[in-house]
Amino acid sequence: MKNIKALIGAVAASALAASAVPFSAAAEGSDTIYGLMDIPYADFYAAEFEGSETSFEVDAVSSATANKWSANETGSVQEDGTWKSGGLSAGTYNLPNEDGSQGGKILGVTYPVAISEADLNALGADAYNFQKLEEVPAAYKTVTVEDGKASFSKLVDTDGAKDIGGKVTVDTSTSYGDYQLTVENYPQDADVYGVIVKTADGNYYPMRALENLWRPKGQIAWSVGYVTTVHGNNIDNPDYYPTNGATVTGVTFITLDGYRNVDNVNVYLPKMFEYTLNAEDGKSGTGSVSYTSTGIPEDYAQTGSVADGFTAADGTISYTDAQPGNYTLKISDSEGVYADLSTSFLLSTADIPSAFNGTDALVPAEGFAEADNANFVKNITAVTVNGKTYNTGKRGTTVVKADGTIDFEAASQGTPVFDGSGVYAVKVESTGYENALEFTIGSEEPISTTPQGEETTAATTASTTTAKGGTTTTAKTGTDSPKTGVPSAAAPLSVLALAAGAAALLRRKND
């Protein structure tokens, strides 16, 4: 069984992959030379289509992103024997935008080849940036030259293709395209240089870095003309339109170790079509809102769903005891022919179910249950402290934790949210709640920045306002003031990871 970790004559470490490739003589008793070539996508995939109905040429990938197109570092085996994947565009070569703007074009992949000395000489200076290798690679493409033009063979896999098996699933609600396949047993010990998705109609669909392969997690996405832009990149390619309603029968990964196949796949790609689906916003609690749609085929067997306590049918969404927040209406085809449809809507309230407990947490306001408070906390979108707003989310700052407690050690870009000034006016905004919760954390003296482990106590006042019924409640308690560290101590430690990157990993052919 092949193992990419055995692949290695490690290539000399260097800042630039192109400058870190070893040189050697040809294999003994042969005029064949092994090396690396920058192979355009069109040439790399052309021979891989043999035996299929595919006839289109594979284009380069244009990228609008600032850096992802150039993140082409090659992965490597770490000291502990584990595999560290390369960049998002591992193994590719590229060209920056000619006008100097951010972004660039991924032209193809840098991959091992076998070529005769005569053919290499015939290529002259235009030799696809050929760089010799010291060892016979585990997998390579054979290059032949005629009239000064190179042709690249189907992959020569010296140990034969490896069947990796595993489940393959499809998602039609991805933001990376119209279809996204997830391959359970994707290669986790090698960079992926290319992927071929095979369909029952005899077509092969090549997938490329950044346009179809965004993350090394077995996820492969593409467009059939509906989701056409991802992170500023145009992914609309008519060559992939025939996959609309097709059945996937296999997936092939191409690595430096050769083919990794998932065969005997039977995954139907539900049909896509142009449609509109809209649901109106409403009030939380018990009630109903309407929804409308256009463009849905007559043979679409509609089944609507939202969440527990909701029903959706014939243009009406009904609900009982629904909490405020965003909801998603999903329309499915019970026959499984067409893709799911979806739209979002908001249920809101003027009430605020949470109050500040005067010390360190949000708790249920008078007349509300813990579930109401938990929902308010779950939907928090922003917290403003002394006039500065901190948004939540993937790259945001968490000021109120999931359990409702206030994180007095919270920091944004290394700067503490609670700076030790002693008085904090706080406003908490939450999706579905028309009014913000506002309160003051106050101290008669500025909060001291004591070392961790020491206590600071002061008489603290807290004024909390709730919107239910327009009432205002004020509490005054004696409590430990929130502790904050010295600003420099609150900032996370910076760690410099010094790594020598290998430009390519190649394995000696098995005896």
Q: Does the structure show a pLDDT above 80 at 153? A: yes
Query: 312, 331, 348: which is the final residue of a domain?
Result: 348
Cβ-in-10-Å burial (0-12, 13-18, 19+) of 339 comes to buried
450 burial level (CB within 10 Å; 0-12, 13-18, 19+): middle
HSE at residue 33, side-chain half, CA atoms within 13 A, is 20
- Mean pLDDT along residues 481-496: 31
Last residue of a domain, one of 299, 321, 348: 348
**What is the identity of the amino acid at 315?**
G
Residue 429 is predicted with a pLDDT of 98
Q: Give percent of the chain above pLDDT 90.
A: 64
Do residues 218 and 306 share a domain? no
Asked if the model's pLDDT at residue 74 lies above 80, the reply is yes
Is 170 found in the same domain as 146? Answer: no
Q: What is the pLDDT of residue 231?
A: 79
Instruction: Return the higher-pLDDT residue of 472 and 128.
Output: 128
Residues 387 and 467 in one domain: yes
Angstrom distances, CA of residue 504 to CA of 4, 77, 266? 12, 11, 35
Assigned domain for 496 exists: no
> How do residues 184-228 score in pLDDT, each as one tens digit?
999 989 999 999 999 999 999 999 988 898 766 889 999 999 999
The whole-number average pLDDT for the span 496-508 is: 31
Question: Is the pLDDT higher at 169 or at 70?
Answer: 169
What CA–CA distance (Å, rounded) separates 73 from 505?
A: 11
Provide the number of structural domains found in the chain: 4
Are residues 168 and 98 part of one domain? no
In terms of domains, do 368 and 399 share one? yes
Whichever domain contains 340, its CATH number is 2.60.40.10
Residue 258 maps to which CATH number? 2.60.40
> Residue 488 has what pLDDT?
32
In a domain, 506, yes or no: no
- 169 in the same domain as 122: no
Provide mean pLDDT across the span 16-21: 33
Cβ-based neighbour number of residue 144 at 10 Å: 13
Is residue 436 a part of any domain in this protein?
Answer: yes
Could you identify the residue written with the tokens 């076998």? 114
Give the residue, 418 or 235, on which the prediction is more confident: 418
Domain that holds residue 395: 354-480
Neighbours of 66 (CB within 10 A): 12
Q: 205, 54 in Cβ contact below 8 A?
A: yes
The answer to whether residue 359 sits within a structural domain is yes
126, 157, 188 - which closes a domain: 157
Q: What are 299-317's pLDDT values in tens digits?
A: 999 999 999 999 999 999 9
- 145-171: average pLDDT: 95
Query: Which band of pLDDT confidence, cut at 50, 70 and 90, is reported for residue 230?
Result: confident
Average pLDDT over the chain, rounded to an integer: 82
Tell me the per-residue pLDDT of 240-275, one tens digit each, with 9 for 90 and over. 999 999 999 999 999 999 999 999 999 999 999 999
Residue 315 belongs to some domain of the structure: yes
Structure confidence at residue 100 (pLDDT) = 65
The residue type found at 412 is S
Are 407 and 398 in contact by the 8 Å Cβ rule? The answer is yes
79-88, Cβ contacts within 8 angstroms, sequence gap of 24 or more = 81/5, 83/4, 83/5, 83/188, 83/189, 83/190, 85/191, 85/216, 86/191, 88/209, 88/210, 88/214, 88/215, 88/216
| 290 shares a domain with 375 | no
The residues with which 440 forms a beta bridge, in sequence order, are 425, 463
Tally of CB atoms within 10 A around 114: 20
pTM, to two decimals: 0.76
Same domain? For 374 and 468 the reply is yes
pLDDT at residue 273 in the model = 97
Using DSSP bridges, classify how beta strands 285-294 and 276-279 pair: parallel, antiparallel or unpaired. antiparallel
- Strand pairing partners for 196? 206, 252
Residue 486: count other Cβ atoms within 10 Å of its Cβ. 12
Structure tokens at 397: 């700052």
Tell me which range, 26-40, 427-441, 451-465, is most confidently predicted by mean pLDDT: 427-441
Q: Do 26 and 33 touch, CB atoms closer than 8 A?
A: yes
Question: What distance in Å separates the CA atoms of residue 493 and residue 16, rounded to the nearest whole number?
Answer: 29
Same domain for 39 and 151, yes or no, is: yes
Task: List, in sequence order, every residue forming a beta bridge with 145; answer none if it has no partner.
Answer: 150
In a domain, 492, yes or no: no
Residue 75: the pLDDT is 86
Q: Which two tokens stand for residue 454?
A: 């020491």
Contact partners, residue 473, CB within 8 Å, separation at least 6: 355, 366, 464, 465, 466
∠ Cα 179 74 162 (to 5°): 60
Q: In whole angstroms, give the CA distance from residue 379 to residue 354.
A: 12
Mean per-residue pLDDT, 413-427:
94
- CA 253 to each of CA 183, 196, 207, 214, 368: distance values in angstroms, whole numbers, following the listed order: 10, 7, 10, 14, 55
Helix, strand, coil shares of the chain, percent, nearest 5, are: 10, 40, 50
pLDDT digits (tens, 9 = 90+) for 439-487: 999 864 444 333 334 443 333 334 443 333 333 333 333 333 333 333 3
Residue 189 falls inside a structural domain = yes
Looking at the structure, tell me whether residues 324 and 420 fall in a common domain. no
State yes or no: pLDDT of 498 exceeds 60.
Answer: no
Residue 327 carries which side chain, given as an amino acid letter? Answer: Y
Q: Is 407 exposed, middle or buried (0-12, 13-18, 19+ CB in 10 A)?
A: middle
Q: Is 470 left (phi over 0), alpha (psi -120 to 50) or beta?
A: left
Task: Select from 152, 121, 128, 127 the least CA-distant residue to 139.
Answer: 152
- Give the mean pLDDT of 374-393: 97
pLDDT at 475: 35
The answer to whether residues 24 and 148 belong to one domain is yes
Short-list 391, 395, 397, 487, CA closest to 447 = 487
For position 458, what pLDDT does the model report? 36
Q: According to the model, what pLDDT value does residue 102 have?
A: 65
490 inside domain: no
pLDDT at position 64 is 64
Which residue has better confidence, 409 or 494?
A: 409
Q: Are residues 140 and 166 in the same domain?
A: no
- Residue 101: pLDDT band (50, 70, 90) is low
